[in-house]
């Protein structure tokens, strides 16, 4: 039984890691296309995206934290990632990234509002 549980636990972590890498890869690809990253930037952005996707996965799967604690930690992660990206991107690239993130948040809010039957 313990072996099966340990194997399932390892398998779950391998799946989370694969999913984190996929998310990081998609983020990097989209940033590369949108911000026209040079090769050295793309490599550094990829490392940052992988690091923070892994941290996000760990945070979301942490059953010891309350929703409020997770939200606080999530905000810290986003702030840290922004700071790391700002050291790599040019001013114009960073501004464009910030605008893209703002637009994406607005799109998500509209979608969530439209999907919520209580708002109809």
Lookup result for tokens 């039984």: 1
Which pLDDT score, from 0 to 100, does residue 113 have? Answer: 81
The rounded mean pLDDT for the chain is 85
Cα 95 to its chain centre, rounded Å, is 18
Which pLDDT score, from 0 to 100, does residue 9 have? Answer: 47
Lookup result for tokens 């799109």: 107
Q: Is residue 70 a contact partner of residue 62, using CB atoms and an 8 Å limit?
A: yes
Residue-wise pLDDT for 75-103, tens only, equals: 999 999 999 999 999 999 999 999 998 99
Q: Is 21 exposed, middle or buried (0-12, 13-18, 19+ CB in 10 A)?
A: middle
Predicted confidence (pLDDT) at residue 111 exceeds the cutoff of 70: yes
Distances (CA, A) of 19 to 38, 46, 57, 111, 115: 26, 15, 9, 24, 26
Predicted confidence (pLDDT) at residue 3 exceeds the cutoff of 80: no
């Amino acid at each position: 039984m313990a072996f099966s549980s340990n194997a399932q636990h390892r398998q779950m972590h391998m799946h989370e890691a694969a999913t984190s890498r996929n998310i990081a890869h998609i983020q990097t690809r989209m940033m590369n296309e949108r911000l026209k990253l040079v090769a050295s930037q793309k490599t550094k952005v990829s490392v940052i995206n992988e690091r923070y996707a892994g941290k996000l996965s760990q945070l979301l799967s942490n059953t010891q934290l309350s929703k409020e604690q997770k939200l606080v930690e999530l905000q810290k992660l986003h702030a840290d990632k922004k700071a790391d990206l700002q050291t790599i991107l040019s001013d114009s690239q960073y501004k464009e990234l910030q605008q893209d993130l703002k637009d994406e948040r607005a799109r998500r809010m509209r979608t969530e509002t439209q999907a919520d039957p209580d708002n109809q």
